Structure 1
Amino acid sequence: MDWSAEAIEQLRALWAEGHSTAEIGRRMGISKNAVVGKAHRLHLPARPSPIQREQAAAASAAPRPVAPAASTAPAVPAPAPRPVAQAPAPVESVARPAAPVLRAAPPPPVVRPFQRSNARSCCWPIGEPGTPEFRFCTSEAFAGKPYCLEHASIAYVKARDRREDAA
């Protein structure tokens, strides 16, 4: 958009009136982002955040305490506060140890037994974890792998050469 002198003046006027950037854009027939960009380049004063505006409006709508009106009557001094009578302390005060602060014990960790019979058994999970049916395959693991031959063939898939797809 080419900003004419009239458009800039209209932007400045609408900005000074406190209209939102979206409203200014609608009135001028341009996008909100165009308004924001030009306002930034013109160094127009920043707008307060809509959140801050809502908080300020709520604070101004809240009733404020009214200060008492100044009267022409002479000020009467306030009476001095009377001392509060206290009961005498018992002669024999027993010092009690401070009660220990009890903190809630952290919940015990959830430990589920790993159902592998030995380090050479397959650890392929079967079923949904957390259900009673959940278990691990206990077949003998393939040499150097954590899974049996069947599950290793699922877990370790050779990456295809992309050149094969191109042909």
Structure 2
Amino acid sequence: MPWTYERIEKLKQLWDEGLTASRIAAELGEVTRNAVIGKAHRLGLSGRMASKSKNNGISIIRKKRINVSRSQKVIDISPVIDEPMNPTSFQDIKDGLCRWPLGEPEEIDFKFCGRNTNEGFVYCQAHHKQAYQPLSKVRERKKIKKKFRIS
């Protein structure tokens, strides 16, 4: 339905009364809320006042959120060492000796741990504990690292 003079006057009247665009659209009929808003804008009708507070003059004090850090669990990452390392070269490494790398592979004096391992494992008890951590410990460690990471 086109905007007739009567409909525009009715829109202005309802707008001045403070009705919402949805309510005006319902009163006028066959117009959408967006059509009312667009027409009001084109007519240069004044912007709406911010809605009045419903607290009737009573000031509301909001509680502040307090961040309380939970106590951190201490993660024991110290290896259990019951025998000294026996640095072993690549040529001398054999089954039953720990294959944990010591140093960088491209270095001349690159060695492996060389401690005795349990049957069927490639690392000694200490290095096995470092290499195969429960997923929960890995997640905890990541959280701690993330907490102290510099952005």
Interval of TM-score (by shorter of Structure 1 and Structure 2): 0.3 to 0.5
Q: Which one has more relative contact order, counting CA pairs under 8 Å at least 6 apart?
A: 2
TM-score, normalised by the number of residues in structure 1 = 0.35
TM-score, normalised by the number of residues in structure 2 = 0.38
The structure with the larger Rg is 1
